[in-house]
Chain A
Amino acid sequence: MTDAGPALLEVNNLTTHFHTPRGPLRAVDGVSFSLRRGQTLGIVGESGSGKSALARTIIGILSKRRTTTTGRIAFEGRDLLTLSEPDMRDIRGRDIAMVFQDPTSSLNPVKRIGVQITEVLARHLGLRGCAARSRATELLTSVGLSLPEERLHQYPHQLSGGMRQRVAIAIALACDPKLLIADEPTTSLDVTIQAQILDLLHRRQKAHDMAMILISHDLGVVAGYTDAVAVMYAGQVVEQASTRSLFRNCRMPYTAALMRSAPNLSDPPHTRLRAIAGRPPDMVLPPPGCRFGPRCDHATDICRNERPTLSASDAVGAHLYACWHPVASPGASA
C-alpha cells in the first residue's frame, strides 16, 4: 500500500459496536486501511476477531438498529457511511460485491439459478431477456461451470457445494464490481475444491483489475493469494504489512503464535504443537492495554495497562504492528 495511485477504498478509524444486553460489543474497534485497484488485502483472524463484522460494515448490511458505526469508509472518495440506503443499494452488487462462506444460505433455494443471476443484471445493468440470458451463460462459463445453459434452469440444491460457490461468485461478479469482498469463501469446501475456487477468484481479479478483500482464518490461504495482510485480534488490526513482509518478518507475537500453532506439513509426525494459551477476550469488557496481553508470553506491565498503537516498524512505513515488545524478526522461521 505504498505505491502511488489513488486508493479505491479507504477505511479510517472504523468502529462497529453491536448492542447487547450487557452493553456495546466492540466487534470492530478503530480499524484503518486502504486498498487500490487490482490489489488483494487478506484479513486474517480467529472467529470473533471482527473480520466478518468489518466486511459487513463496509458493504453496509448490518442492522442499523442493532449496531452503531463510526469512522469513515471512503469508496472512490464517497463516504459510504453517509450514503442513503437507496444509494447504498446501487453500490452494493454493482460496485462492491460480496461472496459469503456458506453458498447454501447465500443463494435463494426456491429460485432457479438463471433467475438469480438475471435479477442482478436487470437491477444494476438494465439487461433483460436474451441479452441477460446470454450474459448469465457467459458468467457461468467464466466461473468454470460445465453445461452453463442447463445450470440456468437448475435450483441451488441440485448442485454440489463447490458448484454453488461458483454460482455465488458468478452472481457477485455479474456487474464487474470494482471491489469484491470474499468472506471465508472456501471454509465450507473441501481442500481440492478450495484450491479451484481460490484460483478462480485470483484469475478473475487479475483479468478485471478488481480489488479484493479476502477474509480467512487460514494463514495458508492468505499467503498464496494476497498482496497485503491485516491480522485482526479482538476487533483491532494488530499487524498489517505486505504479505511477504508479514510472513517473512512478523513482529506481533500474536501473528507469530498463530503461525506456530498450525500443524506444519513439513514437520514429522507427533511434533508438539505450540498452542496459544487461554482464549480471546470478552469483547464487551476487553482488557485494558493490549488485547492479546493476557495470552502473550512477552507481556509486561505496560502491556497490561497501556494500549499499543498500530505503528510502522521501518522508515518506509509499510509494516505496521501494535505491540510494546515486538518479536525479533524473522518470526516466521520459528
Chain B
Amino acid sequence: MSPAELLVIDDLSVTYALPRGRRLMAVANVSFTVYRGETLGLVGESGCGKSTISRAIMQLPPPTGGSVIFEGRNLAKLDTATLRRARKRLHMIFQDPISSLNPRRKVGDIVAEPLAIAGIGGTEDRRRRVRAVLETVGLDPDQIMDRRPHEFSGGQCQRIAIARALVTEPQLVICDEPVSALDVSVRAQILNCLEDMKTRYGLTLLFISHDLAVVKNISDRVAVMYLGRLCELAPSARLYAAPLHPYTAALMAAIPVMDPDWSPSPSHLLAGELPSPMNPPSGCRFRTRCPRAAPLCAARAPEWQEAEAGHFVACHFPLVASDTISPARQS
C-alpha cells in the first residue's frame, strides 16, 4: 500500500440476513481506493448500497466480506480499543442535520463529544478547540454554544455537524448525502464550507450523493453504483464528458437542465424500475433496464476493468466516444 492511499476498499460485500432464511446482498464485491487529499464522489440511486458502504467503512456494522484498509490497517481486524482510537481519524456527516444532533444536548457539548470520547484535552482545552472549529465553519461560538439544536435552521445544524466531524482533526470525512435535505440556496453554502474545510484541514472526502451535479462540483473522481455494484469510476471531468457505462449515461440524461429550450426526449428515459436487491438479475445487474443488453449480459457479470488510464468500467459493451458526446441532447 503506497502512502498516497488513505483508504482501500477491497472486495467489500455486505449481506443482511432476512427472515425465512432469505439474504439480501446490499453491496457485492466492491473495490476502490481513496487517495490522500482527494474527494471521491459516490453516486447512485436510492437502494444502490452507497450508504451501506459508508456504514461498512465505519464498521457499523462491519462488512460481511472483504476488507476496509484505513491508513494501512484493516479496520475489521482491529480490536475494540484500537478501533475506538482509530475512529478519531475518520468521521462522518449525515444527510439529516437535525436527526444527527441530539435535541437534548447543548451545541457546545455536541461538538466537544468526539474530544470527550477520544479523551483529548481538559475541559478548558476542549472548549477552546470547540470555539475554534465553530468559528471556522462560520458560526459564532458565543451565540450558539449554550443553545440546543432545535433553535437552528437546517443549514446551521449541518455546519454544527461539520464542526463536530472536524474537531478531532480527522484524515477522512465520509459525507453521506450531506446536502440532500437542504434548500438550494443553503446547499451552496454547505458545499462551499466543505470545500473550505477540505483545504484548511487537508482533508480527504468520500462524498456520497444521488445528485450528479453536486457530486461533479465537489469531486476529483466519481464512482457510480447500481444495485450493490460499482459500474464506473473515473476522474469527474472525464466521467461527465464521456461516460462509458450505459447506466452513467442514462443517469446524466435524466438530470433536468435549467434551460427552457431543452425539452427532454422520451427516447432517452431509462425504462423500468430498480429490480429487487433480494433477487438481482443474473450477470450484469443493469441489463434489465439497459438499452444495449445482449445475451452475454445475462450469462456473465462484466469484469471491473481499466478501460483507459484511471477510468474503470464494468460493462460488456461500453459506450464509445461517439455514443456519449451528449446523450442528453441528441434527439
Contact = CB atoms under 8 A, between A and B. Distances in A.
Interface of A: 46-47, 160-163, 190-196, 198-199, 203, 217-221, 223-224, 243-244, 246-248, 257-259, 261-265, 267-277, 279, 332
A130 to B, nearest CB: 29
B254 A191 contact: yes
A191 B251 contact: yes
Contacts of A47: 183
A262 B188 contact: yes
Contacts of A244: 260-261
B216 interface: yes
A100 B50 CA distance: 27
B184 A46 contact: yes
A46 B154 CA distance: 13
A220 B256 contact: yes
Contacts of A271: 217
A263 to B, nearest CB: 4
B184 A269 contact: no
Interface of B: 45-46, 153, 155, 183-189, 191-192, 195, 210-214, 216-220, 236-237, 240, 250-264, 266, 269-271, 273-274
Given A247-B260, A259-B258, A273-B217, A217 B269 contact: no
B217 A270 contact: yes
Contacts of A160: 273-274
Given A163-B273, A265-B240, A279-B186, A192 B219 contact: no
A265 B257 contact: yes
A191 B212 contact: yes
Given A160-B273, A220-B258, A261-B184, A269 B217 contact: yes
B57 to A, nearest CB: 23
A199 B265 CA distance: 9
A223 B270 CA distance: 20
Given A191-B212, A224-B263, A279-B153, 7 more contacts: A46-B184, A163-B273, A192-B45, A244-B261, A247-B259, A269-B218, A272-B195
Contacts of A218: 184, 256
A246 B258 CA distance: 11
- For the complex of A and B, 10 pairs with smallest distance between CB atoms: A220-B256, A275-B188, A190-B45, A263-B217, A273-B188, A276-B185, A195-B254, A261-B188, A46-B183, A275-B189
Among B185, B237, B240, max chain A CB count under 10 A is at B185
Contacts of B270: 192, 195-196
Given A191-B45, A220-B258, A269-B218, A198 B264 contact: yes
Contacts of B214: 263
16 contacts: A160-B273, A191-B211, A192-B269, A195-B264, A203-B266, A218-B184, A218-B256, A220-B258, A223-B257, A223-B258, A224-B259, A248-B260, A262-B188, A263-B188, A267-B216, A270-B218
A276 B188 contact: yes
A275 B273 contact: no
Contacts of A46: 183-185
A268 B256 contact: no
A221 B256 contact: yes
Among A221, A259, A272, max chain B CB count under 10 A is at A272
Given A257-B185, A267-B217, A269-B219, A199 B269 contact: yes
A264 B240 CA distance: 12
Contacts of B187: 261-262
A163 B273 CA distance: 8
